[in-house]
Structure 1
Amino acid sequence: MSKMVSVYASDDYKLLIDFEDGSNITFNMQKLVRTIPYFRLKDLPSFRMVKFDEKSVYWDAVDGIPEYLPLRLSIDTILFSLRD
């Protein structure tokens, strides 16, 4: 899979991910934001603050408070969950 070139967080808790080869995926996080590690992303402004690097999407800690569990999803994890 090629590198991610953009990630857009929609108002319905979906991530729209574009890759340098022109392909794209939509990752639905509606259920995931109801789990303990990702619960703070239920706040839509926090969810929209998604960032990305070549192989993962992530969210920085709010107000400089360190996270106990990093809010990072690798592209491999995302693609694996889309298989189900």
Structure 2
Amino acid sequence: MLVKKIGRPDPDTGLKAEIQAIYDEHEGRYGYRRICDELRNRGQKVNHKRVQRLMKVLGVEMSRAPEEIQIISGDGGEGRGQHPGPKLQGGRHE
């Protein structure tokens, strides 16, 4: 039997506000695991799957730090920093 929840107040209103507050407090660097841990530290007993679902409903997700670009060599990508090897002249190493 399917029970409709029309007209009922949202039981997750307070939890949604708490999740949004933690997310904003840490500038979007917390994902559902860390938010779940923070909620537990604040005394709320909550399941990680519930936090993940509510974050999806709120449209918040962890933003990642931009990755550093590592320059391997300054030769425009030619050679990629490899050693050119010994120069041969007349069949002998110099």
- Short-chain TM bin: under 0.3
Instruction: Calculate the TM-score normalised by the size of structure 1.
Output: 0.26
Q: Larger helix proportion, structure 1 or 2?
A: 2
Q: Larger strand proportion, structure 1 or 2?
A: 1
Which has the greater radius of gyration?
Answer: 2
